[in-house]
Structures are given as structure tokens and as C-alpha cells.
Amino acid sequence: MPIEYLKKATLTATSDASDVHETVKGILDAIEAGGDAVAMDFAAKFDRYDGNVLLTAEEIDAAIAQVPEKLKADIRFAHANVKKFAEAQKATVSDVEVEIIPGLVAGQKAIPVDAAGCYVPGGRYSHIASAVMTVTTAKVAGCNHIAVASPPRPGIGIAPAIVYAAHICGADKILAMGGVQGVAAMTFGLFGLPKANILVGPGNQFVAEAKRILFGRVGIDMIAGPTDSLVLADKDADPMIAATDLVSQAEHGYNSPVWLVTDDRAMADRVMELVPQLIDDLPELNRDNARAAWRDYAEVILCADREEMAATSDAYAPEHLTVLCEDLDWWLDRLTCYGSLFLGEETTVSFGDKASGTNHVLPTSRAATYTGGLSVHKYMKIVTWQRSTREAARDVAIATARISRLEGMEGHARAADIRLAKFFPGENFDLSPSG
């Protein structure tokens, strides 16, 4: 039977998308032309902050002194987990050397980019974990310079816990500047920073649009939309855990989609009964976000069996995917489209968001159909090289000359011809494409 929507979204993640392109482009163009002074003007306008922009060692120490020891320990714990997983990821990429034909050797090298720019949100929520996720992976990858930009709060500055996290994870410079101006400062190398080769980290629609516009002149991790999460739950799942996990992700924002996919109507009914109750129990800001997200963007989908559940999940390609079902190995083998996967009730998206070790900068808006999340690999260039003996170059040059002439690229053919003439004087080669 076809899937049945017990709750259907009235809006999508792009329903309220406003045209921010021209606004962002205008800010970027103005800052690129005007440099530090113009960036400061935008910071005064949008951040409403007139403190020091590039934090000094003394300011970092002062911020760190404000962080409670228990929170410091928690941040160090998260950092250690993320670092360990990042190091394991890096170990999967190695330099390669292979002899293609006798005498012709080709290889690859993994080279980290020189300078990384990490954006850490600090507006509605202070994203301590984003500092851990972005800076740690850049450091493990081997970037020579890591800059962090985070929006300061008026009269206060960057949240001290963000400063502490960025510092212990390896940030070289911390910039008290948010929004488009913070992204621009790292990209254009303002305030004495090196120009970033890659920009990473989540942000609002203006930050996302700035990264979209700048992509090409710099690398980016991805263009992120509103966060989204899907829960797969069978008849034996705990409905309270399923409902709590949905609410925990809906609190991200009013337009953060959450989806429940199940093959059990009783499970679906119970979760739909619990979610509004759990939302009502949240603090006001979280409650408003979660209530709007559940009302306008959430869906509850009833499927015939687990295969239909898996196919539905793959079609949605969620950023976060939780499996509250029997036979977890089956789901691990079957599912193919997700940013990060959470198997069983012993883990949760919240663990991955904060402290378990996998990265929380993940593909949204179905981008999981073609890409994964942030990792050490995003900061590394896989480049190739080759070396050859003259004898090995013989057959390669002949094939190159013929293919090039068939394509009409005579200059390419002559680059092969001249080597044949030099390396094998006196030999006659038929280098026409019909030869």
C-alpha cells in the first residue's frame, strides 16, 4: 500500500525563503572594497558591539577565567572525542603510489589547505559545540592557520565558553564579529588574518548566502539550510523517547522539519499525543520554536513494513537519522541517505550534536543524497602526480598524439610528438588518428 501521512507539513524549509542574495552581495562587495573600516561599520550596525575585534591573549585568558570548571571539563571531554574520531578519519586517507605500466608511476598526496575560517554561531544560542566540531577537525587535518569568527553580544563580547572551546581546540585567532562581515573578514584576510582557503560552520540564512556567493574563490563545507531530523520507529520503540528526540530537534528553529516514520499506527498516535505535551514543558524560546516547527513542518508517515520505511527515509535524506527499531544491523546495511545515523535508543542526535565524537556540521535539505558532513577530509586536497621513464612514455605519447588529433587538439598532440622525437630519434611513428 502507499505510505499514509498521519500528519502532513503545511510548509517546507524553503517556504519563507526571502531574497537575501542582493543584500549579502552588497555587504561583501562593500567590505572587499573598503577593508577593515567598512567591516567595522557593519559590525557596529549588526553586532552592535564596539569592543576589540581580534581577541588578544589577555582577552582570551579573561574569558576563559569566566568559564566554570565543570563546563571546561565537559568541553575538554567533547574535544577529546571529536579529536579521536577525526584522527581515525584522517588515517583512512593516505598517500598512494602505483606503477601503471612498467616505468610509469602515478600517485596521490593528501595535502591540507593552509588557512581555515570557522564560523561559530552565537546569536540565539551559543554554539559551543560548533567551535569544537569545526576547529578540532581543521587542526587534526593539519591546517597551518585556523581563524574563528563568532558574533559578540552587545557590551559583552563572544560567549566565554565559545572562546574557551575555540582556544583549546586550536584556533590561532578569534574574531569577535558575526554575520556576513565575519565571513568576509576571514575570506578577504582582514585584521591581519591570512585569507581563508575554506569556510566552514553553520550560520543563519545570511551566513549561508555569503558562503554560497563566495564558493569558488574559497572552498566551503556545504550550503546549509534549516536543520532537519527523521526518526524511524517500529512497534517496540519507546514512544516517549521518539517524541523527545523529535522535540529536541524541533527546538532548533521555527522552520526545522522533523519527521516520524513508522509501520505501527499505535506508535504514531502515541507520539503525536506526546509531542505537544513535551513542547509545552520547554522554556519559552525553545517552546515557541518547537511549537512552530511541529505545527508547520513536521510529518508523521505510516508505512507498510520496514523496507518501505527505509525507502521513505532515503527519499527524505535527512540530516539526522535516528533508528528506534529491532535488528539495527539490518538498518545500518540498508539505509543510504543521511548526514549522520544514530542506531538505537542508547544514542541520540543530541549526543552527536554535542559530545560523542562524530561531527554535527551535516548536510540539510536532501543534500545527504550526494554528500556527507564536515570531516578532516573537507580540509584536505587529494592531488595527483606522475613520473615516467622514457621507455614508458613511448606508448603513452603515441596514444596521446592519436587521441588529441582525433579530438582536434593539435597542440596537445605536438607535446607528445616532441618527446617521441627527442627520446626515440630515428624512429618513425604513425601518429595519425587512423594509424
* Active site members: 319-320
The enclosing H or E element of 320 equals strand 320-324
Which of 313, 230, 300 lies closest to 271, judged by CA? 300
Residue recorded with cell 507520539: 271
Pairing of strands 258-262, 299-302: parallel
Q: Are 399 and 410 in contact (CB under 8 A)?
A: no
Dihedral sign (CA 241, 246, 252, 253): negative
For residue 256, give Cα distances in angstroms to 128, 177, 183, 262, 375.
20, 26, 24, 20, 23
Dihedral sign (CA 226, 305, 333, 315): negative
CA 350, CA 344: separation in Å to the nearest integer?
A: 13
Which of 78, 75, 130, 62 lies closest to 362, judged by CA? 130
Residue recorded with cell 549579502: 24
End-to-end CA distance of the chain: 61
CA 345, CA 323: separation in Å to the nearest integer?
A: 8
- In sequence order, the β-bridge partners of residue 218 are 215
Query: Which string of DSSP letters, residue by residue, matches 100-168?
Result: EETTEEEEEEEEE-SEEEEE---SSS--HHHHHHHHHHHHHHT-SEEEEEEPPBTTTBS-HHHHHHHHH
For residue 200, give Cα distances in angstroms to 219, 379, 392.
9, 9, 43
How many alpha carbons fall within 13 Å on the CB side of residue 148? 35
Which of 190, 183, 139, 185 lies closest to 165, judged by CA? 139
